[in-house]
Amino acid sequence: MNPNVKTARLTGVWYLALAVTGMLGFLVIRPELYITDDPSQTLANLTERPQLAGLSVGLELAVVLTQALAAVWFFKLFVDRNRVAAVGIAAFGLMNSVAIMASATFMATAVTVAGDTSLAPGGDAAGTVGLLSTLSANAWGVGALFFGLWLIPMGWAVLTSGAMPRALGWLLVVGGVGYVASAFVGLALPTAPAAVAEGFSLLATVGELWMIGYLLIKGIRPDAGAGSRAPLARTPVVA
């Protein structure tokens, strides 16, 4: 098998693992444990369901791991085709991994406090867990900024390398811009309807799923080899 195809498919494996762990941890399990505006119920959930609480932290760590691996493998995949874009993908992907690592730290601390309420400042275990839950959610909100940013150079790499369909490249760029906008709406405009932020990130989700499928099924175009790689000096520069 062409080594470029092997690299592409392994990149797809890490990206798929990132999508699955993120969906399970953030969209499925987190709402079962962390109740917005109800720290007492959140504390009760963490206390009464310690195994699920531990699983939530484990999935958060899995997101950190798979995001980091996906960022490194995307760099490997595109570095000889568009070095600037490859560096951008890796840098923004790793920054998102750091943001989720902060969330995992807050979640793990909340689980620890739920297991030993004497650790809570002033004895307010519910308030402490509620604060840690909010910090974790906001870490994801900040991470959304970098997750959007990593899609933009990813799309740029697709557009300049000929490695994948150009429509996918444009979808990733536009979707990445939308994801960045959703991060600003979610954090800077908290009174805005949730549907607004979700709408901004919709194209990004479509682009990600297409990218995962293409990497796993097709890998990379066989003609996207050395002959189609633009020299570094000729790499387009984004203003």
Check residues 51 and 234 and name the one with the higher pLDDT. Answer: 51
Burial of 237 per CB tally in 10 Å (0-12, 13-18, 19+) = exposed
pLDDT class of 193 with cuts at 50, 70, 90: confident
Task: Read off the pLDDT of residues 100-135 as tens digits, 9 standing for 90 and up.
Answer: 999 999 999 999 999 999 999 999 999 999 999 999
Look at residues 127, 211, 233 and name the one whose alpha carbon lies nearest to residue 164: 211
Look at residues 96, 34, 86 and name the one whose alpha carbon lies nearest to residue 65: 96
Per-residue b/e over 115-125, b at no fewer than 16 CB within 10 Å?
eeeeebeeeeb
Least confident of 9-23, 100-114, 190-204: 190-204
Beta-strand ranges (E) seen in the chain are: none
In this prediction, residues 77-106 reach a mean pLDDT of 96
Predicted model pTM: 0.87
pLDDT class of 237 with cuts at 50, 70, 90: very low
Burial of 1 per CB tally in 10 Å (0-12, 13-18, 19+) = exposed
Residues above pLDDT 90, as percent of the chain: 75
pLDDT of res. 14: 97
DSSP 63-106: HHHHHHHHHHHHHHHHTTT-HHHHHHHHHHHHHHHHHHHHHHHH
pLDDT class of 1 with cuts at 50, 70, 90: low
Mean pLDDT across the chain: 89
- Say which DSSP state 117 is in: G
Task: Read off the pLDDT of residues 147-176 as tens digits, 9 standing for 90 and up.
Answer: 999 999 999 999 999 889 999 999 999 999
